Each structure stands twice: as C-alpha cells, then as structure tokens.
Structure 1
Amino acid sequence: MESMKRLRKKFVTDRRDFSKGGPTKHSKPQTGHADRLPGPEWSFVPEYIGSLRPGGGGIRWMGNCFNDTSSEVNMDPQHEAKVTISMHSPVAIFCEDAYFIATPFRYDLVDFIIHGKYEIKWGKMEGEELDDMTTNGVRIFRLSQSVAMTIVDTWETLQLFLGALTGGPGVPRGVAERNLKFLNKYANYEMKPVQSLASVDPSLMRSGDMIGVVRLDGLDPLIMWGTGSHLGHTAVLMRGSNGSLFVCESQSKGNYWPKDAIQRTEWSQWLEWAREADYNVVWMPLREDVRVKFNATSAMREFEQLEGLRYGFYNLIFGWIDTPRNNFPYPLTPELLMVIFALADPIFRAIPSAPSIWNEAMEKRLGLQEGNYSTTEIYSMAQSKGLSFGKLMSLPEQDDWVYPGVKDPKGGWKYRPGPSVVCDVLVCRLWKAGGLLPSSVNCAEFTPFDLYELDLFLQDASSLPPGCKADGRMGYCQVLGDNEITLPYANTIAPFPHMRERCPTTAPNYEDRRLAASWC
C-alpha cells in the first residue's frame, strides 16, 4: 500500500515539460469513480473535454465531482500563458475530478477535491509551441476516475498482455479468459469454446487461400476492437515450385514467434509454432472461379520482392484510420493522439533501432523526403498546409511509398528499404498481384476485416472436409484453437477501385462501417 501511495503521489504532483524539463507541484488528490467503458480495461484513457485558446473565451462543462466547471487560458504580451480552472457545486463531500491538461510540448496531470479557482502557470510560448497554442490551444482531458484509480485501471489493462507477450510462447489461460471477456464487452464478439476442429488434408490447400488467426494476447483483441474485425492476424498460402505448401506472412519476432520480417514457413512447421503460440486458426479457401483467375506466378513474384522486409511498424495504425474522427474507439480522440505522439516522440527518437510508427508515415503524407523531422515539426508543416492532425492521419496510404531500411552493425541492410507491410496488407498485395483486385486498390489501407469481407471465398461448406462450416455466405474450416472464430459479413463485397480508403469504424457495434461497406 505504501508503494501505491508513493506512486499515486508522484503521478499527482509531477509535471513533465518535454521542452523545458522543469517540474512544478500543485493540486490535491482523492479517489472517485465514474465508469464510461464497460470495464476497467482502457478506462485510464482520458476523455477530451475541449481546447482553450488565448482570447477565444473559456469552456464550461459538468465534471464527475464538480457539476459546474469552467476553464480559460490567458497570455500576456510576453507570451506567458496561464490556465485557470474554476470548480463549484460538488456532488458529494468526498469526491475528486482529475485532468490531463496538455499540448504537444508539455502537460500537467492534476486533480481537485476542493471547490474554488485554480491557476496553472503554463510558461512562455515560443516558435512552434506558440503557433500551436494560438491555433489548437491547450487541450483539456478528463480522467474517468481519480488518479489513483486510473493507475489501477492501467494495471487491469496490462493484464490483457502480461504473460502472453512475455515468457513462453503460449497464452496463459487466465490471460485468454480476460481477453475473451474484453472482446465480448468491448466489441460484442463472443468467442465460444470450440466444439470440434476440422481435419484438413494439406493437399486440398491452394495458392491464394487465406489463413485467419486470433491470439488472445491483448494485441489481437486490441486490433479487433479498433477495426471491428473478428481476426487479429492474417496470412496467405502459396505453393512453391516443388509443390511445397508455405504460409506467407508479415511477422515480428517475439516470445511466441521465432522468425522475423516478411517470411514463408512450410505448413507443418507453421502449424507446430501456431499450436505452441495458442493460435486460433481458420483456413478460408478461395472459390473455384476466383482460383482460376488467380495468377500464382505473379503473386509469388510479388512475395519474393517483399520477402525479408521489416514488419510494417511505420504505418501500423494508418490502414485503420480512414477518417479524421470516426475510427477511434471511445474515449480515444485525434486530440489525445496528437498530444501523445508528440510527447512520446523524444523517447522513441532516443532509441536508434526503434521504428517511429507515425513520423515517417506523416512525412509521406506531406510529400517530405526522409528528414528525421520531429513530430512537432511535422505538425507545424501540416498546419502550414492547412491540414489538421485528423485530416493528415486519414490521408490514404499509397502502396508504392518506400520507407527507410535499417542497417546492421557491419553496414549492410538488416532490413532493406521498401513498402511498409503488415499482415493483412501482404495478403492483399499478393491477391492484387495475382489479378484478384483492381490495380487502384491501396492494400496498405486494408484491415483483416476488409480481407474476409471480400467476395472471393467458398459460399458454403458442402465441398469442404467434415468439421468445416458455413458462416453466412462463407465456407471455412477451423483447424486450430480452443475458441471458435466466427466471420459475420464475410464474402459479401465485390472488389472495387480505391476501396477501404475512407471507412468509419465505431465500436462496439460498427454499424457505420457496415452501412458504408459498399462505397468506403
């Protein structure tokens, strides 16, 4: 308990200024509780209240504790900024409101238990910071609970990952159960226990068939929550020149997978590793008329050009974000993401081998050459072009963009320069190279849901081995796992030019995504 109290005191009283480095201390803590999400997972993410601009008037809102809360920011002629917060009408004698107050350059984490007027000296604004202040203002975010309870929620969220992304290759059953409950509550996806698995002769598997995966490790469920997909990872089957069956995929080496980069693995070996990693796996065969159109030679040529490239960290989140605002699960917002990217940037830039998962992709969208720009410099250049952060993030990724490589200690390429390709993007690129998709399709804009939604697969299970099944309009076989994968809305959308470049996805029902399926 003492260590938790010390940690809580640290979070309440420390101010981190990434540009100046100076801490200040203020405010007083107490606990409170106001759930907005269906559980504690991700409840530490604060809710955006509004932005304060000098001379732009204040904002007023109802807090969790103080019904009457208002705030404004003022700047003197020397550009010294001061944030004022007034709080009145508490709902109880003991309650608390906690706030994350931030710009891309600095932040405060404060909490209040006593009504009154509070002033926060924000410091002197210069250069890019002054431009951002006048254009975007100071962002106010409200924590759903007290600072102490927010730490507890953060720990609860980490339980989705710990044990699955560390240690041995398997997923501890307790972690898997947590993730099953998370998917059910947050994404309306119930993965029931598997009744039986299909036994599939590998000779029935052909080039171009898709493999779908769910690993209950926190990461796959996070992807699924954000995108509305019932899969967290995808791969494609390809036959080698000697007839050998390979699983081709984009992967990152870790505790559960021994190979790195874009790779191919012989089927029996892949299945062994998948079993050790506690994968749930489905085989999704192409329909016969589609299979006839698929040019496996061209697809394999495309794969060989991509093989060995680094996993697509550079644009990991950009295939998911298609709109300025309608792809973020509550309470995540573009205002918060803009701040977090900038505050985290110095940390990533201090690690030479760490890929930036946003800077290079934003540079591409601005037409910049590789210039080692900071996140805040990129924001400033986007602002000069009239692009908001949300608009910048939503500009479509292009398949022909080339991202920087990584040198090894001897000066050679550990990962050579090339396109940034995550798992579903690789599947899409091979299908496009094989003639199944229009050339105008940017595969880097796809998610796993976008793949299995395509009208390319068997429509029933009548020609499949015993134990396979049909889900709506699609026949497929679950060959591995303890929990059943279902694929609603699969096999329903014919490919069309520039598809999946402007799709909304709003959890937990994703109704906007389904309504836009035929045109987005």
Structure 2
Amino acid sequence: MGASFEQRPQPWVTNISIDDIHSRDFLAISKIHGRWGGFETLEKWVCGAYAGYTAVCLRDSEGKLWVGESRHDNEQGAGATEVQYSNGDNAIFVLFLSLRGEDVIAVLPWDEWWEFELNKDDSNPHIALLPLHPDMRAKFNETAAWKYAQSMNGKPYGYHNMLFSWIGTINANYPPLLDAHVVASVMTVCNQMQPAYAANMWNEALNKRLGTEVPSYSICNCLAWDLPDLIVKTEMRGSSFAELLTIPEQDDWVYSDGRSASCVAFVLEIYKAARLFDPISRSIQVTEFTIKDAYSLRFFENNSSRLPKWCNDGDDVEFLFCQIRGRYRMELPGYNTMDPYPHMNEMCPSLPPKYSRPSNCLKAFPMM
C-alpha cells in the first residue's frame, strides 16, 4: 500500500476546542494494536483504505456534542445512556444503549468518547477529524440524522454486511492468494465449527442475495438455506458463488436482529438520511461503501483557511483534515475527490498494491 508511517511533531494529542467541531463532521480512525488493530490491518489490505474505523459527530438541540459509532465495545457498559434531541416541533427522540458484552451501535457524549480514546483504548488509535464542507453542512437535515441514529442506537454491529462492501467484482477485489474459492472454503470451515457465527456473518446475507430467506412473518416451519445448499443452488441456477458474492447489499434489508450497519455504513446512513446524497439517494447503497470510499467522497472541507486554528498545530505538513491523535501522520489518498453517482461502488476493483479503480464503476445487478 505504501503507507509511510512518518512521525509527527509532538504533541501527538491535539489540544482541541470542541466549539470548533461541527455536528456532521466525520472521524477517521486507524487502530494499530490489539484485536481491532489486527482486524483493521486485514481490512486495509483487502480494500486499500488508510483508516480502519469511522464515527460521526452530532450535536443535540442544546448544542452538546456526541459521537455516533458502530462497533462500540459495550462489555463494560454501565446501563442505559439517554440522549434527547428536540426539533422545531418539540418532537423528542430518546436514544438508549442498554446492551452489554457485545459490539453495538452507540451514541456517546463526546467527553466520554474522547476520554476513552485518550486513556483507555489500548489499540493505539490514530484519529483524524474530517470537517464537512460548508455547503454540505447547510444541506444536512439534523432532525432526520437524529431520527436515523435513534432507530439504530443499541443494535448489534453490522456483521451481516461487513464482508460484502469489499467484494464488488468476480475477480478484481481479492489480494494475491485469495479468490472466491478460498472465501468459500473458509466459510465452509466456519460453518461447521461455528454455525451460529457463520449464520450471523454471511448465511443470512447470502440467502437475501439468492432470494431464499424465510420472511419473519412466515407461518411455515422452514429454514433458510445453509451454506452448502446455497453454493449448490447457486450453481444449479447457472451462476457461481463468486457472482453471488458480488450482488450489492441493499440498505433497506432487515435481518433477524434488525437493519445492519458496519461502522462506515452507519455514518453514511446518517449522511443519507440527512439528504447529503440527494437527489440520487435512492440509487445509492451506502452498505456497498468501504472506508476508503467514504473519505473519498467530495463532501469535505477544501479550504485550509476555514479549518480550526488548532488543526495540525505544529505540523509542517498541511492537510485539509485535522489529525487529533497519534504518533504517526495519517494519510488518506484520494481524500475528498469523488462526487456521488448512481450505483456508486457497486462494482469497483480494489487490487493491491495501487488499488486503482475507474472514476465511475457502474453496474446494477439483478437479484438471482
């Protein structure tokens, strides 16, 4: 990938003023150590992203700053957290978090989130604040954003669609030594050893792609197909497992535990609900976006004079985003360069080492 890991001048933690952080601003995070550091390294390798996690800033009606994220470790949760947002019609949205011992979607007070990242996160997180462009901030529908956050807060992390945002082609997304056959083999082993895990990670999603899911309202005593059946039935329909993996995820799909959103899908679903993808939002499936796809969107600030004064303070390299934590300088190749287009990222290659892609990857897949 060519990441340089250049050391930044100290201090490695920015003395920020939260008054300069706007609701809607994007947080790009790269974790280096531990469980998530290992996972994110794999994620970066397969899709070419220079960050492995995302979150979003939101302000409530009283101006208090919050952070929304999907993959919050709630193992040490201390009960329910409530957030109230009131729009002009005095509608009250109550966001709550009450799950324990799992990765969930959460909306947390900025102070709580920042304290954890500074003093308790053992993954050595590197964090960049990506301010939205003023035109995007003006377009942002705050009420709709909070309403979507309310509907998702406390739900499980989006394992159902985490894998599929990376695969958009039959053979142009797999790094060397990987292909759809290897993916099928790994899935088959996991299906035998951890069937519940496999069902959560891909079986439900594959049944949706094949049109073989059992609706929640069904009165029949029947089951969706397991992985071996899915592979056989796909071949019987004249297709292949490799092609099945490329069918785009749909944002409105509902799984057994509700709608599913990975970290980047959650942030972009908020942007989509807030009308940032209008007028083409109906032809955008943000669950098809990788983290690289997200920070490449032309949504962000392009004028350094509008960045906060503390942004990259003391650094001799000028960026159009603000790194607020981390020893090494964060790089985001392709940052803020792509305008949205219909069916964006549904069929894009991502082969290392350059992860090159056409400027407009277009193809709409029919359901099988």
For normalisation by structure 1, the TM-score amounts to: 0.58
Deviations 1:423-449 (A, max 9, x none): 000111010111111322101101111
1:358 to 182, 202, 218: 202
Name the SS of the counterpart of 1:238 in structure 2: strand
1:299 to 139, 142, 145: 145
1:200 aligns with 2:42: no
8 Å Cα contact 2:190-2:198 kept in structure 1: no
2:60 to 227, 240, 243: 240
1:378 aligns with 2:230: yes
2:5 to 191, 194, 197: 191
Bigger Rg, which one: 1
Distance in 1 (CA, whole Å) between partners of 2:116 and 2:39 is 18
1:331 aligns with 2:172: no
Structure 1 gaps, min length 5: 1-186, 406-417
Distance in 2 (CA, whole Å) between partners of 1:450 and 1:193 is 26
Displacement of 1:219: 1.3
Distance in 1 (CA, whole Å) between partners of 2:252 and 2:224 is 20
Displacement of 1:355: 5.1
8 Å Cα contact 1:280-1:485 kept in structure 2: yes
1:517 aligns with 2:359: yes
1:458 to 294, 297, 301: 301
Distance in 1 (CA, whole Å) between partners of 2:169 and 2:240 is 12
Alpha-carbon spacing, 1:314–1:259, altered in 2? closer, same or farther (3 Å) = closer
Displacement of 1:191: 2.1
Q: In structure 1, what is the equivalent of residue 275 of structure 2? A: 435
8 Å Cα contact 2:213-2:225 kept in structure 1: no
Displacement of 1:259: 7.1
Name the SS of the counterpart of 2:306 in structure 1: coil
Q: How does 1:163-178 map to 2 (within 5 A)?
A: none
8 Å Cα contact 2:207-2:224 kept in structure 1: no
2:262 to 399, 422, 431: 422
Q: In structure 1, what is the equivalent of residue 91 of structure 2? A: none
Give the aligned length.
Answer: 317
Deviations 1:251-289 (A, max 9, x none): 152789987311011111111111221211010110111
Displacement of 1:323: 0.5
8 Å Cα contact 1:493-1:518 kept in structure 2: no
Letter in 1 for 2:54: T
1:397 to 220, 230, 249: 249
Distance in 2 (CA, whole Å) between partners of 1:487 and 1:255 is 31
8 Å Cα contact 1:302-1:430 kept in structure 2: yes
Q: How does 1:98-137 map to 2 (within 5 A)?
A: none
8 Å Cα contact 1:461-1:468 kept in structure 2: no
Distance in 2 (CA, whole Å) between partners of 1:508 and 1:256 is 39
Structure 2 gaps, min length 5: 78-100, 215-222, 363-368
Deviations 1:459-502 (A, max 9, x none): 13222234535999961111112221111211111111110111
Alpha-carbon spacing, 1:383–1:473, altered in 2? closer, same or farther (3 Å) = farther
Q: In structure 2, what is the equivalent of residue 368 of structure 1? A: 212
1:505 aligns with 2:347: no
Which structure has more strand as a fraction of its residues? 1
Q: Identity percentage over the alignment?
A: 32
Distance in 2 (CA, whole Å) between partners of 1:188 and 1:432 is 32
Q: In structure 1, what is the equivalent of residue 161 of structure 2? A: 315
8 Å Cα contact 2:71-2:263 kept in structure 1: yes
Alpha-carbon spacing, 1:210–1:190, altered in 2? closer, same or farther (3 Å) = same
